[in-house]
Structure 1
């Protein structure tokens, strides 16, 4: 049986830290679904379609990676695509507390396990929130994005 992991997030934008998590996840899973959660109550810098296009373009030659959008609980989405795992990255102790609580609840209601991976030290300071802020003020963010990712509004 194939091991499929879901890597959920808003990815607004998709950073080099996210890219690192996806590459490392390929060592653990046969297939990774990068799943962009729809959240109409949040305002996004990049539209959902732009985020899907940017990430799909980045992984267009990697057959083990797909990029999708969903608008349900992550565990419910994982069930619909027969994924047995949710992949999450943590940068700090604060992230750990939050992710542990969600992972425990997800396992309780669905039986789906969460695999928590620590961000590589060189990427712990990078977040989509900070990259968005830099973009808003016209800064070059290339160093925080995966090589080959082309920002599209």
Structure 2
């Protein structure tokens, strides 16, 4: 019987954007099971609590078969090992992301044998980040195009 192919899409997802959803959707088309893994970082306070991010991501990925959303503490490679994942899938918006992610991919492979697959961001979304979305929204700008509707509603409510 062939081994089930599993991947992890790690991130902070504060808040999850349409770019995040694009990467998760594409990963779900490549792997039988995809774990969307939200890092719990006690040194970093997000706009949304980790539990809220789990709820938002669970809602926007509900129609994707094989996708599970969880939070985790510690090293992502340990999380991958615990889930039996063969790969991590990460979206890249450009060269800056690549320069940041490549050394981590090498280290993760060294530590665990887990491969990192990079998916280029959708051309119309490569400039979108959670940080930029929050900054624009705080300034009163329209970020509707960059967030799933349910996430946009929660962001508006949070910033009101």
The two structures have a TM-score, normalised by structure 1, of 0.93
Are the structure 2 counterparts of residues 60 and 12 from structure 1 closer, same or farther at C-alpha, using a change threshold of 3 Å? same
Count of residue correspondences: 153
Equivalent residue number for residue 85 of structure 1:
87
Q: How does 1:37-52 map to 2 (within 5 A)?
A: 37-52=39-54
What is aligned with 1:68? 70
Supply the RMSD in Å over aligned alpha carbons. 1.4
Whole-angstrom CA distance in 1 between matches of 2:150 and 2:53: 14
Question: How much has 1:60 moved relative to structure 2?
Answer: 2.2
Following superposition, the deviation at residue 151 of structure 1 comes to 4.2
Aligned partner of 1:36 in structure 2 is 38
Give 1:31 shift.
Answer: 1.1
Gaps of 5+ in 2: none
| Distance verdict in 2 for CA 1:21–1:7, change over 3 Å | same
Asked whether the 8 Å contact 1:34–1:65 carries over to 2, the reply is yes
Displacement of 1:148: 4.8
- 58-67 or 106-115, which moves further after superposition? 58-67
Higher RCO by CA contacts (8 Å cutoff, separation 6 or greater): 1
Determine the structure 2 residue equivalent to 1:108.
Answer: 110
CA distance in 2, matches of 1:48, 1:135: 20
- Tell me if the contact between 2:25 and 2:64 (Cα under 8 Å) persists in the aligned partners: no
Q: TM-score normalized by structure 2? A: 0.89
DSSP-derived class of the 2:29 partner: coil
Structure 1 unaligned regions, length at least 5: none
